[in-house]
Chains A and B, each alone.
Chain A
């Protein structure tokens, strides 16, 4: 059975599980994004229109219809992090990745994004990579963390 079919089976067949399904699907894939075919399959399974599925997927920032790198690097941009130097963190990440906000590195390993507050302001500046939040960062630390991901591939 395909990855998607397995995920669909995890919850009752009811369209209120749409967001759960989309999140689980992204988590299960090498690149966290949802494709056209997957949208069509999901819509068919729940008996809803593909537009309804894609409009939900585009509403939520953790979901993506655009292909993204294996590791999505999200730098927090809100005020508590800003007060603790998030602009330097963003610069350091851009330098380490060699790409700008919204872009994916040439090797397809990373996509750089900005994010709203991660609810981790007591550890600001904070950065989320994939499903892990890193805190109390400085330029040096965040570069080392990114190198770690690059070496682990």
Chain B
């Protein structure tokens, strides 16, 4: 069931040794790339149908093309290693076990787009990832994969690490860009997109760790061969993060198309301690909450896999508790720039506390549904737009359990 491409070297190489990486095929894709035309590289990535692994599933070749087409020649390559969505930890595993493939992907992207500078934005809590990537960058520089006149091919590129400081919203592309600029992380209205006006208002290609890590593999096997892996909509493999009440927690790499159900049963070895499954949440705190009968769906971009989190919850779990915890997360993490998200999350927390206390009415529930609607439709960035998704989907799958928690007095009041 597993297909190990990005994780193939995990445990086999010393992540702190670039020589290990090179002995195992590392930097061969870059060697090949610098002999290729920029357009050919973009074609391969288009043929591979590579889509972003950070959650939005945007086709990567379009960003490369956009950068190449910009008049402005100062361009940036940014790697998003902020990974703050509860339930996701695969980028940490990628950086700590095999950091160079992400770096190699960034260098190839820089060669393709003539960008001279890159940033890796790593969340501040990932001290070990930061240390490993810092050492990997130093070794790459020493070997001439970074710096001036890389591989004698006449292009310069270097990468700097920027540390996050504990703000989930900084995973959102514009908030991340603001943070790199040394500001509070708040989103900006789009367009213009980062490919036109990103870091310091210059054209910027911003991608997830796993997305960059795929690029060397695509050049090695060729876009066509890569596109044979996976499903119609989703090509290649996906790293999934299994967590919660599951026997075998961890990161696994599967070809797109494997079902969520099978991944839980076979890779995760089922619900922990032989308990019964109550619900599964895909993608993380902002993803749908599904009842057991709805988890026989493929892991792909048509089924809300997001960045690949699968959170398993057993029979002891209370759906209202979970919704409240998520709502508190979003209330805390909202950057406060736009009203629907700032106020909406506050109200959702307040109302869910009422539901939990058994004092909410059917009217409160209707208010929550309306709020969710408004937040999804008019919030400025993905945080506010997706915060109510767990609530909206739980009302579908577990609506009765939520309504059972409403105040018993309600019928009298309404009468």
Binding site for B on A (CB under 8 A): 15-20, 22-23, 55-56, 59-63, 77-80, 82-84, 115-124, 128, 131-133
What are 25 A-B contacts with C-beta separation under 8 Å?
A: A16-B182, A22-B165, A23-B165, A55-B184, A56-B183, A59-B184, A60-B164, A60-B184, A61-B166, A77-B325, A77-B328, A79-B244, A79-B281, A79-B311, A79-B326, A80-B87, A115-B166, A116-B84, A116-B329, A116-B332, A116-B333, A119-B92, A121-B241, A122-B89, A122-B242
Which of A17, A22, A124 has the largest number of chain B CB atoms within 10 A?
A124
Whether the Cβ atoms of B124 and A23 lie closer than 8 Å is yes
Q: Mark B324-358, 1 if CB is under 8 A from A, else 0.
A: 01101100110100000000000000000000000
Which of B86, B164, B179 has the largest number of chain A CB atoms within 10 A?
B86
Once the chains are docked, how many angstroms separate the CA of A148 from the CA of B251?
Answer: 31
Once the chains are docked, how many angstroms separate the CA of A117 from the CA of B182?
Answer: 23
Interface size on B, residues (CB 8 A): 52
Whether the Cβ atoms of A119 and B311 lie closer than 8 Å is no
Whether the Cβ atoms of A119 and B88 lie closer than 8 Å is yes
Whether the Cβ atoms of A20 and B285 lie closer than 8 Å is no
Question: Measured between C-beta atoms, what is the minimum distance from B289 to chain A in Å?
Answer: 10
Q: A83-B317, A116-B86 are in contact. Are A61 and B165 (CB under 8 A)?
A: yes
Whether the Cβ atoms of B180 and A119 lie closer than 8 Å is no
B126 at the interface (CB under 8 A from A): yes
Residues of B within 8 A of A18 (CB): 182-183
17 more A-B residue pairs beyond the given contacts A115-B125, A117-B88, with a C-beta to C-beta distance below 8 A:
A18-B182, A56-B184, A60-B165, A78-B285, A79-B311, A79-B326, A80-B87, A80-B244, A83-B243, A115-B166, A116-B86, A116-B333, A119-B84, A119-B89, A119-B126, A120-B92, A121-B241
Residues of A within 8 A of B87 (CB): 78-80, 117, 121
Question: Measured between C-beta atoms, what is the minimum distance from A144 to chain B in Å?
Answer: 22
Binding site for A on B (CB under 8 A): 83-89, 91-92, 123-127, 162-168, 179-185, 200, 241-245, 249-251, 281, 285, 311, 313-314, 317, 321-322, 325-326, 328-329, 332-333, 335
Which of B83, B124, B335 has the largest number of chain A CB atoms within 10 A?
B124
Q: A78-B325, A119-B83, A119-B84 are in contact. Are A16 and B180 (CB under 8 A)?
A: yes
Residues of B within 8 A of A17 (CB): 182
Which of A16, A19, A133 has the largest number of chain B CB atoms within 10 A?
A19
Question: Measured between C-beta atoms, what is the minimum distance from B191 to chain A in Å?
Answer: 23
Q: A60-B167, A62-B125, A121-B243 are in contact. Are A16 and B181 (CB under 8 A)?
A: yes
Once the chains are docked, how many angstroms separate the CA of A128 from the CA of B124?
Answer: 12
Which of B125, B311, B335 has the largest number of chain A CB atoms within 10 A?
B125
The 3 closest A-B pairs by CB, nearest first: A60-B165, A61-B166, A62-B166
Which of A16, A20, A128 has the largest number of chain B CB atoms within 10 A?
A16
Residues of A within 8 A of B329 (CB): 77-78, 116-117
Whether the Cβ atoms of B313 and A83 lie closer than 8 Å is yes
Residue of A nearest to B92 (CB): A119
Residues of B within 8 A of A19 (CB): 162-163, 165, 179, 182
Whether the Cβ atoms of A20 and B184 lie closer than 8 Å is no
Once the chains are docked, how many angstroms separate the CA of A17 from the CA of B165?
Answer: 13
